[in-house]
A and B are shown apart, each in its own frame.
Chain A
Amino acid sequence: MALSGVEIFKYLPKTNCKKCGHPTCLAFAMKLAAKQASLDACPDASADAKKVLGEAAAPPIRDITIGAGDKAVKVGGEICLFRHEKKFFNPCAFAVSIKSSEAGDAAAKKIEMVKTSEIDRVGQKLRVDAIAVTDDGGDAAKFASVVKQVVDGAPGVPVILVSANPAVIEAGIAHCADKKPLICGATADNADAMAKIAKEKKASLVVSAAGLEALEALSDKVKAMGVEDLVLDSGARKAKDMIEQYTIIRRAAIKKNFKPLGFPIISFAERGDSLSEAMAAAIGVMKYASIIVVNSVEKWKMLALLSLRQNIYTDPQVPMQVKQDIYKIGEATDKSPLMITTNFSLSYFIVRGEVENSKVPSWIAVMDNEGLSVLTAWAAGKFTASKIATFIQESGVEKSVTTKELIIPGYVAVLSGALEEKLPGWKITVGPREANQIPTFLKGRA
């Protein structure tokens, strides 16, 4: 919970020595409260002050990075319960579970699916984020062999090591100790041994318990043993328990600054049926899970789940936007077709994708409408004939496209008359309504 300037002031030396660059300790405290200064600037701050203020400044939910290198994922660090209050910051990570018993071909298949999982959606690259190697027989050597297979087969992909047996984890982590794996994890029975491994290897650690009281106790215990990067598993598997327990955890952390539960949540959404699993995982995406483990990652399923995650984690105040510009698609020349759309990322990338599909080199004029879709922008008076005309004239597009023909979205066909008036010498062509008809439309003209 953030402290006020006056509260912070109590912990400062009160000597007004100015070494921090501020005239008084109180002035410095005010800057700290506004997060415009760091306590490091005061050389005389006591250890006690550092501890209290450091804790107060820490986010209510700790953020944790799993893995190392450019595929590492950061989760947690959230500050609100509902996305409309501010936004959700660090998209939950999807991990596919590979069991020890799948060593060999089955594991290889899943590894391949992870490696080829990347899709481009609305300009973002999305993929399966991690692999959860899961012990299902207690055989340490077999577990270790799968860890090795994963580390070699999908280099850089963050690894979660799942076993309740410290000896198994020990064997597995030997292959990925330098890669900041997540160990899953500590239970009431093995906490000492697991915490020791996590500390030694600087790995983060899942604490698993059935129910929130047991979870709180375990989290406290492991933290006292010096492991700071924790992830919570409350044992919820049924959708009802997921929503309820994750809500309590998130609320306790954010509204009560309840430290034992101020960590990201890992959710095991595994189900026998793949779509049922996707439905359970969807609940995790929306209701506060930070890592979601699933059994399988078929392309259709990840497309849906990653799209959901993208929806939930976009900034509700600012739509995703692209820069206003004239974009060249393929080897467009001065005779290639010129289309116009708005700068809402979704609109632009859909249109762009279809233009690329058509293989007809083209130009796309993207007009800044504060990130509104075509119809929304039109309804809001931001995609009008006169605004489009001004944009086209000022864009200088006439230099690259000499045909003086502008193709407008079919949904705003009503604009064509007024546009021809406002853009003398230009021909306005009404394109199809839905972008998926663009390829037929463009090919039909060629």
Chain B
Amino acid sequence: MALVVPKESYSGKIYEVQLGSGAKTVTIGGANALPFLGFEGTFPHKPAVALEVMDIAPEDWPETVKKAVSGASASPVQWAKFCQEQGADMVALRLIGTHPDQKNRSAEDAAKTAAEVAAAVDIPLVILGSGHVEKDTQVLQAVAAAVRGKNCAIGKAVEENYKTVAAAAMANDHKLIAMSQLDVNLAKQLNILLSQMGFAKERIIMDPMSSALGYGMEYTYSVMERIRQAALLQNDPMMQTPIICDIGLNVWKVKETIAPDAEMPEWGGLADRALAWEAITASGMLTAGADMLIMRHPGAMAKAKELIADLM
């Protein structure tokens, strides 16, 4: 009995989305087979990793990651430059300071920060609001205009505010990150709604909602596997947008990245443990099909990139 390599016949392909302007643009997507199965498809672009920067100092980040960025994190511009030096493919600016429970910074302030950061680096920029549904509509509108021409990924558009956020991205020629809550149908639905308002599906990056290793990661993992199957095997055009996973945010709030050695001796050293937590979470999301990751620790990013090289 001779082995005939059982190949899938894929009819779909992930859209290619280009980010950034000038010399250092990055393209993601383009796969026409399930993740990393080179024997039956092609993967023209490797997954990209963005390092996260915030518009305020990372006071509430756990020690391990705070220390890793401490030389630079006092100003978003310095911090963004630092990310580029560390080898990040992109910078992800999170405007958390605009959240009413945080510093409640104004949309104008945020726009100014975004423009400064955009001017300071030449790698592509991802710009995220604070996650406050109403505030994000104002903030992202101002920001999108301020970085016009930079071909950024702007987000996150969610069910409650997608119209305004998408309009801002559209008017200023940016790409859009659309987030739904861990559900294949909701992810598709949001892409449909965006298409119906005239936002080209080829300009959307889908965020299925990430979670950390040990804290619901398996839900994200399976939702992503199902989205990829729908995109490639069932050729569903509404599922063929690249996928982004915003993992640093989730990873750096679980106990495994925070508890000191003395408190949890059976968990091993905090520095290694915390780094591993973000890196292994990244490995999970990459395996499930992520085209793009947002991470916080430069060391964990380096490990993710090393794995990507080993996978391609």
Contact = CB atoms under 8 A, between A and B. Distances in A.
Q: Does B associate with A?
A: yes
Interface stretch (A17-25, A137-145, A280-288): A280-288
Interface stretch (B67-75, B104-112, B279-287): B279-287
Nearest to A316: B222
Q: How large is the interface on B (under 10, 10 to 19, 20 to 34, 35 or more residues)?
A: 35 or more
A35 interface: no
B269 interface: yes
Contacts of A327: none
Contacts of A305: 280
Given A311-B213, A436-B255, A275 B272 contact: yes
B117 to A, nearest CB: 30
Contact of B275 (A255, A275, A434): A275
Interface stretch (B18-26, B35-43, B124-132): B35-43
B184 to A, nearest CB: 9
B266 interface: yes
A287 B276 contact: no
A258 B3 contact: yes
A252 B3 contact: yes
A252 B6 contact: yes
A208 B130 CA distance: 52
Contacts of A275: 272, 275-276, 279, 303
A252 to B, nearest CB: 5
A314 B221 CA distance: 12
B259 A279 contact: no
B310 interface: yes
A303 B283 contact: no
Interface in B151-196: none
Given A239-B307, A286-B284, A312 B6 contact: no
B197 interface: no
Nearest to B276: A304
A287 B221 CA distance: 12
B119 interface: no
Nearest to A122: B214
Contacts of A308: 213-214, 217, 280, 284
Interface stretch (A1-9, A242-250, A391-399, A418-426): A242-250
Nearest to B275: A275
B6 A278 contact: no
Interface of B: 1-6, 35-39, 213-218, 221-222, 225-226, 229, 253, 255-256, 258-259, 263, 266-269, 272-273, 275-277, 279-280, 283-284, 287-288, 303, 306-307, 310-312
Interface of A: 82-84, 119, 121, 212-213, 216, 220, 238-240, 243-244, 247-248, 251-252, 255-256, 258-261, 274-276, 278-280, 282-283, 286-287, 298-305, 307-308, 310-312, 314, 316, 346, 350, 357, 373, 434-436
23 contacts: A84-B222, A119-B267, A240-B310, A243-B287, A244-B39, A252-B6, A255-B6, A258-B6, A279-B310, A286-B284, A286-B288, A287-B287, A298-B268, A299-B267, A299-B269, A300-B269, A300-B272, A303-B267, A311-B213, A350-B255, A357-B263, A373-B216, A436-B259
The 6 closest A-B pairs by CB, nearest first: A299-B268, A300-B268, A300-B273, A239-B310, A311-B218, A307-B214
